[in-house]
A and B are shown apart, each in its own frame.
Chain A
């Protein structure tokens, strides 16, 4: 029988980062994940560039394993 220790999670992987670097990374993450939805909620809408058609808005029918390729 193998006994494996299952203690608490190890120390934070990002613990060694300086506060400034950590803040910058958090800002990048916030912009990346929340930027588009926030802009959409604020009324910003994408416009077509030249002849490039806009992709459709995400819908239930477009789930895992299906390509968004238009």
Chain B
């Protein structure tokens, strides 16, 4: 069930909100947990047992790790942690990567003349990458003693399956939310009033901006494997950069808003990433909850930057290859991860991970960073490496001609206006006089406050009309 669907907006949400506010406070976690399982079952159907079994295994492991019997037995605790983490990663490996791995083996045996080998084809359980990372966060936090094990099964299910973040994040580290799960004062009317405008903003970003650009992107990338003009390639790549930002940050706004409506403060996922002054800075601003997860549970345990320059560079490359592979089982995602890892290493070598001193240098670096990120998105979006190279070739080597026929058709006047406005909005830094007050809540002059209110009262109803008319598409991050 998508957040931007009639079923969710006008059937699931009213029913869940009514149940949440009608029942006594002590039952409200149970309402969220039950509604979340229904939400997942509606979308994932036969894959629901995988989520339930993962919940059962990790809940049990948490109790064992938190028990007093194991307090003085570090080896046993470590064994339980490794077994549970291994089980979680094995689930992810089988369901997400088995198909890719067997395809590579088949290609290898074919190249060596050893004949065909069987290829596994499994449907990906929706949200598995996200709930696996939540489970890993939980068992590691309990093992480290950062937070006690959760004894209430209902609260544990609420953490793992909470529908605002179940399918596509934000990735909530357990210690960030543990205190909120047991807070019976958390359901305040003020939260509901604060959550709705945020949800409305996200819906507008997704349905009005991201979905408008989808057809332009699809038309451009459809040509990526064959002859493509430079104009089409650049239009497709830059439109995709905007589409994925408005799609995913819109989803995250909706998730944070929904969380607030049910009394939870979920972590922010975006901080104006396209105004970053370096790729290092970009990763402090893009999908922040994923970056923090990798930092806390992989980068720092690997040694972080404590073992000298060479080890730091190695750790950065490992993190970004894993990050790419986490997004999808394909060479395109691996290359995308490696590309970003290599850029981070290069920035450290050149000292470009720190902000430049002058205003013009800052503007130049922002432009360069945006360019590098847009180039990276080509790998992320392309269906294959051949398609990605074709697109990049056309972007770098001049291919004469105007927009291809389909791209020109898709890029109508209305979409081009949205494209231009979106580009201006995302590329301006938050500190700019024009934009700063607009994006910082409860600040700025009356006119700016009015503009924010317009999102709630005009953009959200318009987005709702588009949803009701059936003109939206699923969130991009649902596929991960």
Contacts and interface: CB of A to CB of B under 8 A. Distances in A.
Contacts of A16: 442
A66 B5 CA distance: 10
A35 B479 CA distance: 31
B185 A8 contact: yes
Contacts of B144: 1-2
Interface string A1-41: 11111111110111111000110011011001111110000
B265 A10 contact: yes
B409 interface: no
A26 B193 CA distance: 5
Contacts of B185: 8-9
B461 to A, nearest CB: 7
A43 interface: no
Contact of B265 (A9, A21, A52, A65): A9
Nearest to B479: A65
Interface residues of B, number: 59
Report whether over half of chain A's contact residues are helix, strand or loop; otherwise say mixed.
Answer: loop
B179 A6 contact: yes
B359 to A, nearest CB: 34
A43 to B, nearest CB: 16
Nearest to B45: A63
Contacts, number: 144
B260 A13 contact: yes
Q: Which of B10, B147, B200 has the most CB of A within 10 A?
A: B10
Contacts of A28: 196, 200, 456-457, 460
B474 A64 contact: yes
B260 A64 contact: no
A21 B126 CA distance: 38
B220 to A, nearest CB: 19
Nearest to B41: A63
B194 A65 contact: no
Contacts of A10: 265
A44 to B, nearest CB: 12
B447 interface: no
Given A22-B189, A32-B200, A60-B42, A6 B145 contact: no
Interface of B: 1-2, 5-7, 9-11, 13-14, 17, 42-45, 126, 144-147, 167, 175, 178-180, 183, 185-186, 188-197, 200, 260-261, 263-265, 442, 456-457, 460-461, 464, 468-474, 478-479
